[in-house]
């Protein structure tokens, strides 16, 4: 029996090396995001003015907290196995930083107000620059991961990691009490202000939203340490208890503290609001999925598929919903009935699953080709953005041709030929100098 291969297969549907409840939490957040964006953009009256819709808005606010908390949790799970590589300059660290750079590239690509550098400059005005610099979830994830990597690189020793994440979390909360002060905001440079408060169109500025990621990393540290001893449930129980504590704290400061605790609970536009309740709710979702996994693993393959390509789902669904003339069903903006909205959600959800599945299928079978195609497209876009004033058939063709030439190694052969030519020229000049000296 011990050698029966069937006995070695995981019965729970888990993938080796995967933390299933984290995949499920990310998939749950993605589902909430698709539902939330669709309802916000398409649901018509009178359904969006009722009490039920107002109550739903709170639950919608949990999505960003859950996304960021899962990102912090995933950082620890993915990094602690190779801690030494991430606390020194190494190929693994460089690859991770390249991945973060890709996230930030997509983040600001979605904010472009001109498709080329020339148009960005000619169309510039302060309002457009402010919109370009605003912080959304991708900016928060990208810079949050950089903060966590910097923290790991600074402390070196893995046993000190929880201390710096806790210190950073407290620091973020304290800093928010300053950066959300209008008098202080007035003196912040435009390049920095969108990361520090919500006064400059940022929906998810680093302050205080990166606190969700720091909380996730903090508890993931104890989860990882407990996992080595088989006591990870203690960390998850502590996560659940802290979540309940945060919800109670939000209730107290909202109902029994005059003015709340600025800026985390005051009823003012352009302040985060519900910060502790969002954090506590996200904690309960993650811990609940962990304990539920002990009883039954729900749709592990679907959760894995969505989780692995959550970035693609995030980027692609935005133009489908909000893409102006490129969006789907724009004529029904804020005019659909609930039945129409949920039919739209079902179709959109199916398309996003097919997108993630297709990317995963290509990744498994043609990983090198997939990487080269992605890098070629990015390079072609960069060439187009910098060198051409606008998009034309010629500019796109030339930019793509140069990118393909570069990615296929043509630049190496060209560099070698130039190097040979320079060396030949030097050799021709050298004898003449010697002859002159001899004469």
Measure the CA–CA gap between 187 and 370, rounded to whole angstroms: 46
Q: Is 244 a member of any domain?
A: yes
What residues form DSSP beta bridges with 43?
336
Q: In terms of domains, do 340 and 421 share one?
A: no
Tokens of 279: 């954090």
DSSP code at position 191: T
The range of the structural domain enclosing residue 305 comes to 10-380
Q: In terms of domains, do 424 and 354 share one?
A: no
- Please enumerate in sequence order all residues whose Cβ is within 8 A of that of 51, keeping only pairs 6 or more positions apart, or say none: none
- Please enumerate in sequence order all residues whose Cβ is within 8 A of that of 423, keeping only pairs 6 or more positions apart, or say none: none
Measure the CA–CA gap between 16 and 361, rounded to whole angstroms: 19
Q: Are 21 and 290 in contact (CB under 8 A)?
A: yes
Measure the CA–CA gap between 307 and 223, rounded to whole angstroms: 20
Q: Are 135 and 194 in contact (CB under 8 A)?
A: yes
Instruction: Supply φ then ψ for residue 323, to 5 degrees.
Output: -75, 30
- Tell me the C-alpha to C-alpha distance, in Å, between residue 86 and each of 19, 227, 389: 20, 20, 40
Q: Is 332 a member of any domain?
A: yes
pLDDT value at residue 324: 72
DSSP code at position 10: -
Q: Are 202 and 138 in contact (CB under 8 A)?
A: no
Mean pLDDT per 10-residue section of the chain, whose length is 439 residues? 40 61 95 93 87 83 94 94 91 92 94 91 92 94 96 93 96 93 92 93 94 97 94 96 96 85 80 90 96 90 92 93 78 87 95 95 90 90 93 94 83 67 68 48
Burial of 38 per CB tally in 10 Å (0-12, 13-18, 19+): buried
Q: Is 407 a member of any domain?
A: no
Q: In terms of domains, do 190 and 268 share one?
A: yes
Q: Scanning the structure block, which residue is given the tokens 């107000």?
A: 113
pLDDT value at residue 326: 64
Q: Is 198 a member of any domain?
A: yes
Q: In terms of domains, do 422 and 318 share one?
A: no
pLDDT value at residue 282: 96
Q: In terms of domains, do 326 and 427 share one?
A: no
**3 state SS of 323:** coil
Q: Is 391 a member of any domain?
A: no
pLDDT value at residue 425: 72
The closest alpha carbon to 153, from 83, 70, 72, 75, belongs to: 83
Q: In terms of domains, do 297 and 179 share one?
A: yes
Tokens of 17: 């090396």
How far, rounded to the nearest angstrom, does the alpha carbon of residue 239 sit from its chain's CA centroid? Answer: 23
Q: Is 402 a member of any domain?
A: no
**3 state SS of 43:** strand
The closest alpha carbon to 382, from 363, 406, 362, belongs to: 406
The closest alpha carbon to 72, from 282, 240, 300, belongs to: 282
Q: In terms of domains, do 23 and 93 share one?
A: yes
Q: In terms of domains, do 303 and 425 share one?
A: no
Instruction: Supply φ then ψ for residue 244, to 5 degrees.
Output: -60, -40
The closest alpha carbon to 115, from 417, 384, 418, belongs to: 384
Helix axes 20-42, 300-308, angle to 10 degrees: 70
Q: Is 179 a member of any domain?
A: yes
- Please enumerate in sequence order all residues whose Cβ is within 8 A of that of 212, keeping only pairs 6 or more positions apart, or say none: 64, 65, 68, 69, 72, 278, 279, 282
First to last CA, the chain: 94
Choose the final residue of a domain: 364, 380, 396: 380
Tokens of 157: 């020793």
Q: In terms of domains, do 425 and 373 share one?
A: no
Measure the CA–CA gap between 380 and 402, rounded to whole angstroms: 7
Q: In terms of domains, do 318 and 439 share one?
A: no
Q: Is 212 a member of any domain?
A: yes
- Please enumerate in sequence order all residues whose Cβ is within 8 A of that of 414, keeping only pairs 6 or more positions apart, or say none: none
User: Cβ atoms within 10 A of the Cβ of 119, count?
Assistant: 16
Q: In terms of domains, do 285 and 347 share one?
A: yes
pLDDT value at residue 137: 93
pLDDT value at residue 80: 92
Choose the final residue of a domain: 333, 365, 380: 380
| Number of domains forming the structure of the chain | 2
Q: In terms of domains, do 295 and 347 share one?
A: yes
């Amino acid at each position: 029996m011990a050698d029966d291969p069937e006995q070695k297969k995981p019965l729970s549907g888990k993938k080796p090396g995967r933390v299933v409840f984290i995949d499920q939490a990310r998939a749950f957040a993605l589902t909430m995001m698709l539902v939330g964006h669709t309802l916000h953009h398409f649901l018509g009256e009178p359904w969006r003015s009722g009490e039920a819709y107002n109550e739903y808005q709170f639950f919608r606010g949990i999505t960003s907290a859950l996304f960021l908390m899962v990102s912090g949790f995933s950082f620890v799970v993915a990094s602690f196995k190779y801690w030494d590589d991430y606390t020194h300059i190494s190929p693994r660290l460089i690859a991770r930083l390249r991945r973060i750079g890709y996230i930030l590239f997509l983040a600001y690509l979605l904010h472009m107000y001109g498709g080329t550098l020339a148009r960005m400059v000619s169309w510039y005005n302060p309002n457009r620059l402010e919109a370009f610099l605003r912080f959304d979830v991708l900016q928060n994830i990208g810079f949050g991961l950089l903060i966590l990597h910097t923290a790991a690189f600074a402390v070196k020793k893995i046993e000190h990691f929880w201390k710096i994440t806790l210190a950073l979390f407290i620091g973020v909360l304290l800093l928010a009490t300053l950066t959300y002060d209008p008098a202080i905001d007035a003196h912040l440079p435009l390049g920095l202000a969108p990361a520090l408060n919500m006064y400059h169109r940022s929906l998810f500025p680093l302050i205080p939203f990166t606190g969700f990621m720091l909380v996730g990393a903090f508890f993931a540290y104890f989860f990882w340490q407990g996992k080595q001893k088989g006591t990870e449930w203690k960390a998850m129980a502590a996560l659940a208890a802290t979540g309940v504590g945060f919800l109670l704290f939000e209730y107290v400061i909202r109902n029994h503290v005059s003015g709340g605790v600025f800026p985390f609970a005051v009823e003012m536009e352009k302040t985060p609001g519900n910060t502790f309740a969002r954090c506590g709710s996200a904690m309960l979702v993650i811990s609940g999925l962990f304990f539920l996994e002990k009883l039954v693993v729900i749709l592990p393959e679907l959760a894995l598929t969505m989780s692995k390509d959550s970035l693609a789902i995030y980027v692609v669904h935005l133009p489908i919903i909000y893409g102006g003339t490129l969006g789907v069903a724009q004529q029904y903006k804020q005019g659909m009935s609930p039945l129409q909205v949920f039919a739209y959600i079902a179709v959109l959800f199916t398309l996003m699953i097919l997108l993630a599945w297709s990317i995963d299928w290509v990744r498994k079978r043609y990983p090198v080709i997939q990487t080269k195609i992605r890098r070629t497209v990015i390079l072609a876009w960069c060439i187009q953005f910098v060198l051409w004033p606008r998009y034309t058939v010629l500019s796109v063709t030339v930019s793509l041709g140069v990118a393909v030439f570069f990615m296929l190694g043509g630049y190496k052969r060209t560099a070698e030929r130039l190097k040979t030519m320079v060396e030949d020229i030097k050799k021709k000049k050298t004898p003449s100098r010697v002859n002159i000296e001899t004469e």
